[in-house]
Amino acid sequence: MREPRNTQAIRKKLRPECEKCFGLCCVALPFSDSEDFAFNKQAGKPCPNLRSDFHCRIHSGLREKGFKGCTAFECFGAGQKVSQVTFHGVDWRVRAEVASKMFTVFPKMIMLHELLWYLQMALSCIAPRSIHSELSQALNEIEQLTQLSADSIIDLDLQSQHEKLNDLFLRTSELVWQETQRHDVPGRGKRKNYRGADLIGKKLNDADLVGANFRGAYLIAADLSETDLTAADFIGADLRDTNLRGADLTGSIFLTQAQLNSAKGSASTKLPSMFNRPSHWQ
């Protein structure tokens, strides 16, 4: 079954194009002094490392200088959407009112674009063909929301949007799992449910993880190396420093580039074609 053309077009829009953004991730969002960031920064305050041309002055050495969180961050293309579509190319430095609205819209646009990412990923799977029409309709509806005015986006109830789509994502996950049951895929036993589980530092590379439900799980520094993660559901999972070296993620679902960026992998880690291999993986 061929992937829908509109899915490919949406995916392209969800790739960050920093040259079309006004450095929003370096200004609008806060961060705290931690393992991921070298100092505290308030929301709406430009990072001291942000240059006047919106480039980062330490971009090539972010991880070495204590900004691992910056290398993991992914806006799903929300930066260029807010900068060039919502605000029609008007720089936030023009006046305070523009800055305030832009910084409020940006995190909401990230959430909308993340939903688009999950929807296009669900549509790219062959298994949930029975709900493709529902997924396509939902994708079109969310895309229309991203085109609203700044004030309308600020007023959106994104919690209700998440709740509305959660059933579709759950059904997609189950259909993908059922598909593995119909083929000669290892791990045909009962599907493991780690939803919301505390798996921090856990050694899981000797477990059968085909179809595992990792929705919202804390996998920080967990060991998933050399595992087959076919049909594994990673929506909302925390993969910071998760060991994915040699793991096969080609058949997993609801992954994001940010999750991969925050994990540890290697040249032998197998990824779906829609993802880039993080530059720090060795």
How is 183-239 classified by DSSP, letter by letter? TT-S--SPPPB-TT-B-TT-B-TTS--TT-B-TT-B-TT-B-TT-B-TT-B-TT-B-
The predicted pLDDT at position 6 comes to 66
pLDDT-derived band at 184 (thresholds 50, 70, 90) equals low
pLDDT-derived band at 179 (thresholds 50, 70, 90) equals confident
pLDDT digits (tens, 9 = 90+) for 261-274: 999 999 999 999 99
Taking 80 as the threshold, does the pLDDT of residue 140 lie above it? yes
pLDDT-derived band at 188 (thresholds 50, 70, 90) equals low
Residue identified by tokens 């949007």 is 161
| Helix H or strand E encompassing 104 | helix 96-124
Taking 90 as the threshold, does the pLDDT of residue 3 lie above it? no
Pick from 214, 213, 190, 218: which is nearest to 202 by CA?
A: 218
Domain boundaries, the chain: 5-178, 190-282
Pick from 116, 72, 86: which is nearest to 22 by CA?
A: 86
pLDDT-derived band at 235 (thresholds 50, 70, 90) equals very high
The predicted pLDDT at position 196 comes to 98
Q: Are the C-beta atoms of 221 and 236 separated by less than 8 Å? A: no
pLDDT digits (tens, 9 = 90+) for 57-102: 999 999 999 999 999 999 999 999 999 999 999 999 999 999 999 9
**Mean pLDDT estimate for the chain:** 93
pLDDT digits (tens, 9 = 90+) for 5-63: 567 788 889 999 999 999 999 999 999 999 999 999 999 999 999 999 999 999 999 99
Task: Tell me the CATH class for 190-282.
Answer: mainly beta
Q: Are the C-beta atoms of 224 and 204 separated by less than 8 Å? A: yes
| Helix H or strand E encompassing 172 | helix 158-181
Residue identified by tokens 């045909």 is 188
Q: From CA 206, how far away is CA 164, in angstroms rounded? A: 36
User: How many percent of the chain have pLDDT more than 70?
Assistant: 95
